[in-house]
Structure 1
Amino acid sequence: MERYVVEPRDLKLDDFPCRVLVGVRRAGKSYMLYHVIQQLLAQGHKWDEMLYLSFEDERLENFDTDDFNRLLECHQEMYGKRPMLFLDEIQNIDCWHKFARRMADSQYTIFITGSNAKMLSGEINTTLGGRFLIAEVYPYSFKEFLAVHQVPTAELDILSTEGRAKIIRCFDDYLHDGGLPAAALLPAKRNYLSSVYQKIYMGDIIARNKITNVSGIRVLVRKMAESVCRPISYNRINNLLSSVGGKLSLATTIKYVEYCEDAWLLLRLRNYSSALADKESNCKYYFIDTGILGLFLIDKDAMQLENLVALQLFRIYGHDPENERVFFYNDSFEVDFYVPEAELAIQVSYSLHDEDTRKRETEALQKLPRRLTCNRRIILTYDEEETITDQHGTIEVIPVWKWLLK
């Protein structure tokens, strides 16, 4: 099953008729389905050629795979046409992938969305293999966020004092409040972000996995937020949870973390230099949206800045269940991000004004080329820019907002 990454609001129609869109709730997957339908209508297709179902609708609570066939039969009786299928939040239906495979084999056009990462793993991945293209849907990129706010980003706009000021003001909002589409134009976003988090927390994590230890998951999410940017082991997570929420087994803690990943609340980053066992048990975790992350933090700017960079790298290179595209590097020194296919190394530092911070960030990037191939080395900051030269070439210091626009 081929995987590619698209910007959330830009799904182009081509000759591949079977797509799966996966991502966190409220990232814009349903909007993309509506947009595809509008594109098809503009091309001359009619409403009676389309069949849309949202499995968040309580009237479909007891829907099962046999009901798919009944729907197709009813549509044929009513319209005498083969429908194009648009199936929203399909992970709620057991064995949906077998129906999807049969429809693909029967040359149906079928678009599917889901908000559970596990819907693309194991048996399901094998069943769909070769029939579907997969698109990972993230909250707004910074470019999209600026477009929604009608802020121009041409080179002259970036160079002008007024244009640059508008971009940086928007960047502050984007950094602190995140990129969930429905929140972009809200004057007060925190209540909306809290409601989205509660839906993920109570619906996609607690209810879906039938968890009774609600307080344990609550503490886990808070501790994971406080640990963003730092490698953390399962044992460490377990000790933190047990110290504040009662004794939990290590196996239960691991399951809780996996449930948060399945719901796309947390995205895992593995250590490129580690052995296989350590890659799985001592990872970094980032939140799917910096606004949701900010709900749990007080002094948060530096952590949100690095989280923002992680999300952009996942947009560019993808974040499949194994995530063999983006890593961090930690072996006697640490580099925040390393992308093997691009031979790219990135450090994130809110500021380099402090000499100790500057030395730590630059020395790590000076050591890495002795161990790994680095065609490009970058330090991303809030607003500082310069070029540092060493024996391996140059280290670019770039403001994050400017890097996000490239």
Structure 2
Amino acid sequence: MFSAVYPREKYLARLRNFYDSDIIKVITGIRRCGKSFILKAVINELLQKGVDESKIIYLPLDRRGFKNIKTPEQLEEKIESMITGEGFHYLFIDEIQNVRQFESVVQSYAEEGYSVFLTGSNSYLLSEEITTKLTGRYLSFETFPLDFQEFLEMKKFFKLKINSDSEKEFNEYILNGGFPKTLEFPDTSTRETYTRGIISEIFEKDVKTRKRISNIAVYERVQSFLINNYSSPFSISNLIDCLKNEGFSTKATTVRGYIDDLQKAKIIYECNRFDLKSKKAIRREQKYYLADMAIYFSTNTDNRMSFGPTLENLVYLYLRSHEYEVSVGIIGKFECDFIVRDKNQSYAYIQVTYTLHGEDEKTTEKIKEREYRPFRSIKDGYPRYIISLDKFQDQQEGVHHINAVDLFLGKVKI
């Protein structure tokens, strides 16, 4: 049994119904978001349920004693050496992309009835190779860095000091991010260094080794542009113009390829616009959100917080990590921050703002008009929400006003 593994219930709950299934379970997410520890938590649960340890095969392919496994033949030989007796087994393979052409091996064990769990590089696990070879035989479970509730629960789990002022804890969470290992480091500077290392590792292991980057300087500038313009409307033509002004000559197809690389590596998430009137997605001027706010703060010398875009990014991650489908809403001439749909196909409309209150009454009225106005064009009966950091609710026009921190801590729900 693995000791000191914080069980991330949000993800374990989604996996439990498939513990004994022969469908291959593929756990994806940005590097260092905790995928390996989710595997370990599943193993702990199985052992606690009484599963014999001999029926659990665990291969961490990036660890000593396993790093030399590079071919499907070596992988199968190692698995066979760990099988004790006949019958049902659980097979856990961490960092599966280290083995070339592994699909046929894991597929054969799944076909024999084994329960197979995989984690690995997103750039491979989301590529055409695996989707072609394992179509219909696997399910993907997307994971994210710690949300604010998990951040506090993990601190408590490891008996770390928690500030009694929840606002200070929330600010610390935003700046330091939700990569689990950062909790081991005592100061912001060390945590930022660690996060920058993750970005470098993703480039070296997920991007650079998967494809030849024709112009590293342009790639880095595209990455920097998207990181620095999170939560903002995006236009590829504007990005290309910026590159030209900085002396970079490149094609739109090249830039789109680099953006796709960043998405596959899970550094950024694309959120398309949805026209409520035409019921169609609009693939232009979409927005991009970061997998973790520490990606921005660790790569910028200015740590002053822009609460509006930051809060919008955090709400987006909350929605995605709770399995909502999320779009930027177009309602006539107005934009609604998010149109979301849950697993029951129920919709909701969401506006996100730092606060509904300005420095004086006139400014407050302008802010409220801006945030409530898009909702007035909605004719259906689906719920509407304004999410802010205000402690006191401002319920008007049938719109639910909720505090963001209360939402992140599970005290209220959408």
Whether the 8 Å CA contact 1:383–1:399 is kept in 2: the answer is yes
Which consecutive residues of structure 1, in runs of 5 or more, have no partner in the other structure? 152-162, 319-324
Whether the 8 Å CA contact 1:22–1:116 is kept in 2: the answer is yes
For residues 62 and 284 of structure 2, the distance between their equivalents in structure 1, rounded to whole angstroms, comes to 34
Task: Kindly indicate whether residue 220 of structure 2 is the aligned counterpart of residue 218 of structure 1.
Answer: yes
Matches within 5 A, 1:5-404: 7-8=10-11, 12=16, 14-17=19-22, 18-57=24-63, 60=67, 63-76=70-83, 79-81=84-86, 83-116=89-122, 119-120=125-126, 122=128, 124-125=130-131, 127-150=133-156, 166-188=165-187, 189-244=191-246, 246-273=248-275, 279-297=282-300, 298=302, 299=304, 300-317=306-323, 325-330=325-330, 331-340=332-341, 341-354=345-358, 355=363, 356-367=366-377, 369-370=378-379, 373=380, 375-390=382-397, 394-404=398-408
The SS at the match of 2:329 is strand
Structure 1 residues 15 and 125, CA, compared in 2 at 3 Å: closer, same or farther?
same
Whether the 8 Å CA contact 1:176–1:301 is kept in 2: the answer is no
For residues 48 and 399 of structure 1, the distance between their equivalents in structure 2, rounded to whole angstroms, comes to 48
TM-score, length-normalised on structure 2? 0.81
- Higher mean Cα deviation, 31-40 or 19-28? 31-40
Whether the 8 Å CA contact 1:20–1:132 is kept in 2: the answer is yes
Question: What's the offset of the Cα at 1:277?
Answer: 10
Higher helix share: 1
2:349 maps to amino acid: A
1:203 maps to amino acid: K
The SS at the match of 1:173 is helix
Question: What's the offset of the Cα at 1:215?
Answer: 1.9
C-alpha RMSD of the superposition: 3.0
Percent identity of equivalent pairs = 26
1:270 maps to amino acid: N
**Residue number in structure 1 paired with 2:3:** none
For residues 178 and 54 of structure 2, the distance between their equivalents in structure 1, rounded to whole angstroms, comes to 35
2:258 maps to amino acid: Y
The SS at the match of 1:389 is coil
Question: What's the offset of the Cα at 1:398?
Answer: 2.1
Question: What's the offset of the Cα at 1:129?
Answer: 4.3
Structure 1 residues 206 and 245, CA, compared in 2 at 3 Å: closer, same or farther?
farther
Structure 1 residues 185 and 301, CA, compared in 2 at 3 Å: closer, same or farther?
farther
Whether the 8 Å CA contact 1:8–1:27 is kept in 2: the answer is no
Whether the 8 Å CA contact 1:7–1:137 is kept in 2: the answer is no
Question: What's the offset of the Cα at 1:378?
Answer: 1.4
Structure 1 residues 361 and 376, CA, compared in 2 at 3 Å: closer, same or farther?
same
For residues 201 and 348 of structure 2, the distance between their equivalents in structure 1, rounded to whole angstroms, comes to 36
For residues 164 and 403 of structure 2, the distance between their equivalents in structure 1, rounded to whole angstroms, comes to 14
Structure 1 residues 115 and 123, CA, compared in 2 at 3 Å: closer, same or farther?
closer
TM-score, length-normalised on structure 1? 0.82
1:93 maps to amino acid: V
For residues 36 and 262 of structure 1, the distance between their equivalents in structure 2, rounded to whole angstroms, comes to 25
2:347 maps to amino acid: E
For residues 202 and 232 of structure 2, the distance between their equivalents in structure 1, rounded to whole angstroms, comes to 24
Q: Relative contact order: is structure 1 or structure 2 higher (C-alpha 8 Å, sep ≥ 6)?
A: 1
Question: What's the offset of the Cα at 1:81?
Answer: 4.9
The SS at the match of 1:302 is helix
**Residue number in structure 2 paired with 1:321:** none
Structure 1 residues 317 and 255, CA, compared in 2 at 3 Å: closer, same or farther?
same
Whether the 8 Å CA contact 1:351–1:384 is kept in 2: the answer is no
Question: What's the offset of the Cα at 1:140?
Answer: 1.0
For residues 123 and 192 of structure 1, the distance between their equivalents in structure 2, rounded to whole angstroms, comes to 31
**Residue number in structure 1 paired with 2:5:** none
Question: What's the offset of the Cα at 1:287?
Answer: 0.6
Question: What's the offset of the Cα at 1:165?
Answer: 5.1
Which consecutive residues of structure 2, in runs of 5 or more, have no partner in the other structure? 1-7
- Higher mean Cα deviation, 204-213 or 186-195? 204-213
For residues 279 and 132 of structure 2, the distance between their equivalents in structure 1, rounded to whole angstroms, comes to 23
The SS at the match of 1:70 is helix
The SS at the match of 1:140 is coil
- Higher mean Cα deviation, 291-300 or 280-289? 291-300
For residues 235 and 250 of structure 1, the distance between their equivalents in structure 2, rounded to whole angstroms, comes to 8
The SS at the match of 2:140 is strand
Question: What's the offset of the Cα at 1:21?
Answer: 0.8
The SS at the match of 2:282 is helix
Question: What's the offset of the Cα at 1:253?
Answer: 0.1
Q: How many residues were matched structurally?
A: 377
The SS at the match of 2:208 is helix
Q: What is the CA deviation profile of residues 109-164 of structure 1, one whole-angstrom value per residue up to 9, with x for unaligned ones?
A: 2110123166246563354344434321111122211212339xxxxxxxxxxx99
For residues 82 and 135 of structure 2, the distance between their equivalents in structure 1, rounded to whole angstroms, comes to 28
The SS at the match of 2:385 is strand
Q: What is the CA deviation profile of residues 10-68 of structure 1, one whole-angstrom value per residue up to 9, with x for unaligned ones?
A: 65474335421111111111111122223333344454433322333586467122333
Whether the 8 Å CA contact 1:55–1:89 is kept in 2: the answer is yes
Q: What is the CA deviation profile of residues 341-378 of structure 1, one whole-angstrom value per residue up to 9, with x for unaligned ones?
A: 332111111122233333211112222x14xx352211
